[in-house]
Amino acid sequence: MRGKAKVTLQVKLPDGKPAANGEVALAAVDQALLELMPNNSWDLLDAMLQRRSYGVETATAQMEIIGRRHYGRKAVPAGGGGGKSPTRELFDTLLLWNPRVQLDAQGRATVEVPLNDSLTSFRIVAVADLGVGRFGTGSATIAATQDLQVISGLPLLVREDDRYRAMFTLRNTTKRAMTVQASARATLVSDANALPVQTVQIPAGEAREIGWDVTAPALLAFARSGTVQWEVQAAEQGSGAATDRIKLSQQIVPAEPVTAQQATLAQLTPGLSVPVKAPPGALADPTGKLRGGLQVNLQSSLAGGLPGVREWFLNYPFSCLEQRTSKAIGLADGTAWEAMMNQLPSYLDANGLAAYFPLRSDSQSGSVALTAYLLSISDEAARAGLTLRVPDALRAQMERGLTAFVEGRIRPDAWAPSSAMMDVEVRKLAALEALSRTGHAQARMLGSIQILPAQWPTSALIDWTLLLTRMQDIPQREARLAEAQQLLRARLTVQGTRLAFSTERSDDWWWLMAGGDVNAARCSRWPPNCRAGRTRRRSLPRA
C-alpha cells in the first residue's frame, strides 16, 4: 500500500540478442479498470494484421456510461498521520505512464512503479520499439493486498436529509479468525452518537458487513452542494496487528434547491428601501428556521463586473499557450501574463512561430494562426488599457516568422481538413492582419494571395477589411474596402435578438481558432459599418 514496485524490463530481438539502446513505452493500470473495458491499444501486432471486415460495424453506447465515470482521486492528499497508521485515500487507476524508457546496451531497464492505496491487481504493459521495423509487447501482473481490508459501500451522492445506511465491508484475507473493532468519523454529522464503535467476528478468509444509519445533514443557505469527509478505521483485537483505514468523500446536494422568489434592480441612494417577505410555503430547517435568505450584490455600473465570466475564467482548467493567453487577458492578470512571457521562448520554433505546447526538438514547428492570435490579442489588450504586452525581442522574432511565411520563405507543418479550400490564403491573411498592427505589413506581400473575398470564410473577410483599413498603399483600396464591407453586411442576419452570419455553417474553421462567436465578437468592435443594425449580443471568443 503506497509502496513502490521495482519492474525490470528485458527486451530481446528475434534471434535472442539484446535490443540494445531501444525504447519502451510503459503503462501500469488498475486491473479492475480493464475488467470494465479492455484496452487493446497496446496489442500492436493484432492491430496491424487484423482480419479485414465486410464493411459492417456495430456501434455501442458503452463509452457513454464508462467514459463518464470518475476514476480519479477520491479524496484530497493526506496530511500528517499524527503517529497513526496510514490512511488509504489515493485510488488513481493509472499508476504510471512513461512513453520513453531508454534501454541500455543489454536491452534492459529498471523502472519504479508507485502503487496507490487500492488492494487489487495491477497490469504493467511495455511496448518496445527499435528502429522503424521492430516492435513488441510484453505484460505482467502484480497484486497488492493486506491481512485486513476495509471496502467501501458508501453512496457517493446523497441529498440533504436523506436517511441511508453507510455500509462497509471488512475482509479477512488470513487463515486465522479475527475479532475486529471498527470506528467511523464523518464531518457535518452533528450527532456524535450516530457512529458508535462496532465489534465483529470475521472467520478466516471471509468478510462481514458493517454499517451506520445516518441522516444526511442540511446545507447552509444558498449552498449548491456540500462534502462529507468519511474516515473509517478497522483494527484487529488481541495479539494480531492487522489494521486498515480509508478516507472517502461524499457529496451532498439540496433536496429542494434554493430558488429566487423576488429580484430587484435599483440604484443605490440614501434611504433606499426594498420590502421583502418570506414566500408562502417556504421550507424550514430542522430547527424551524426558514431556509434561504437575501443576497445583495453591488457593482459600479450595469455593465461592470461580469462575475459569471470571471468565475468561468478562474475555473478554466486547460493550459495550452492560447488558453493561458486568453485566461490572463480575460482576468487582466499581470502575474500570470508575466509568468507566461518568461516561458514564451520555449514555445517558439527556429522561425519565431509559437506552438501550443513547449517544443521538445528543433524539428518541431509552430503555428501561424496561434502566432497571429498572440500578437493581435496583446495589441487589443493594450488598446483596452491593459499593461499586458509581448516583450519587444520576442515580438520581433514572431513578426519575422509571420513575414517569412507570407513571403513563402518557410512552410511550417500545418493540418487542415481536405475540404478546407484556400487554407494557406486564410492563414496568410491572419498573419498580415497581425503584422499590420505594427506597420510591418506591406502591399507587395499580397502578391501570393488570390483576392477572392466573396469565397473566403467570414474570419478571413474581417482580416481583409482590417488590412484595407490600415494599409493605405493597397491598389484600388477604396473600391475593395467598399466591396468587403458590403459582403460583411450581406452575411449578417438577425434571428430574434441574436446576431449571426448566414455563412456560419461554413465559417467554423476551428483549427484556426475561428468560428461564428469569434467573428461576431470581432465584428462588434470593427469596422463601424459592420455594426449597422447590430442587436444586443455579447460573445466571447472560444478558448
- What is the DSSP code (8-state) at residue 491? H
pLDDT digits (tens, 9 = 90+) for 244-278: 888 888 888 888 777 778 788 888 888 888 888 88
C-alpha 516: how far from chain center: 23
The one-digit pLDDT tens for each residue of the chain (543 residues) are: 557 888 888 988 888 888 888 888 888 888 877 877 888 777 777 777 777 667 666 666 655 555 444 444 444 444 444 444 556 666 677 778 888 888 888 888 998 888 776 777 888 888 888 877 788 888 888 887 788 888 889 998 998 888 899 999 999 988 889 999 999 988 866 555 678 999 999 999 899 999 999 888 777 655 667 888 899 999 988 876 888 888 888 888 888 777 778 788 888 888 888 888 888 888 776 667 777 778 888 877 766 667 778 888 888 888 899 999 999 998 889 999 999 999 999 999 999 999 999 987 777 889 999 999 999 999 999 888 888 999 999 999 999 999 999 999 998 888 888 777 788 999 999 999 999 999 999 999 999 899 999 999 999 999 999 999 999 989 999 999 999 999 998 998 876 666 788 888 888 898 999 988 888 888 765 544 444 333 333 333 333
Strands in 226-236's sheet, in edge-to-edge order, are 157-159, 243-253, 226-236, 178-186, 198-202
Predicted pLDDT at 59: 66
Predicted pLDDT at 114: 82
> What is the grid cell recorded at 276?
421583502
Cα(first)–Cα(last) distance of the chain, in Å?
Answer: 41
534 SS3 class = coil
**Burial class of residue 291 in the structure, from the number of CB atoms within 10 Å of its CB (0-12 exposed, 13-18 middle, 19+ buried):** middle
Pairing of strands 243-253, 492-495: unpaired
Sheet strands (E) in 144-225: 148-152, 157-159, 163-172, 178-186, 198-202, 207-215
Instruction: Find all residues with CB under 8 Å of 67, minimum gap 6, and list them.
Output: none
Please compute Rg for the chain using Cα positions: 31
- Cα gap 343→324, rounded to integer Å: 11
**Burial class of residue 357 in the structure, from the number of CB atoms within 10 Å of its CB (0-12 exposed, 13-18 middle, 19+ buried):** exposed
Of the candidates 505, 435, 492, 425, the residue with the CA atom closest to the CA atom of residue 460: 425
pLDDT digits (tens, 9 = 90+) for 498-515: 678 888 888 889 899 998
- Cα gap 428→371, rounded to integer Å: 12
Cβ pair 120, 32 in contact under 8 A: yes
Predicted pLDDT at 167: 93
Predicted pLDDT at 68: 47
pLDDT digits (tens, 9 = 90+) for 355-378: 999 987 777 889 999 999 999 999
Using a cut of 0.75, tell me whether the model's pTM lies above it. no
For the chain, which domains are there?
4-47+72-143 (2.20.130), 148-253 (2.60.40.10), 307-531 (1.50.10.20)
Predicted pLDDT at 88: 65
Cβ pair 196, 211 in contact under 8 A: no
| Residue 267 parent element (H or E) | none
Question: What φ, ψ does residue 164 adopt, rounded to 5°?
Answer: -150, 170
Predicted pLDDT at 538: 32
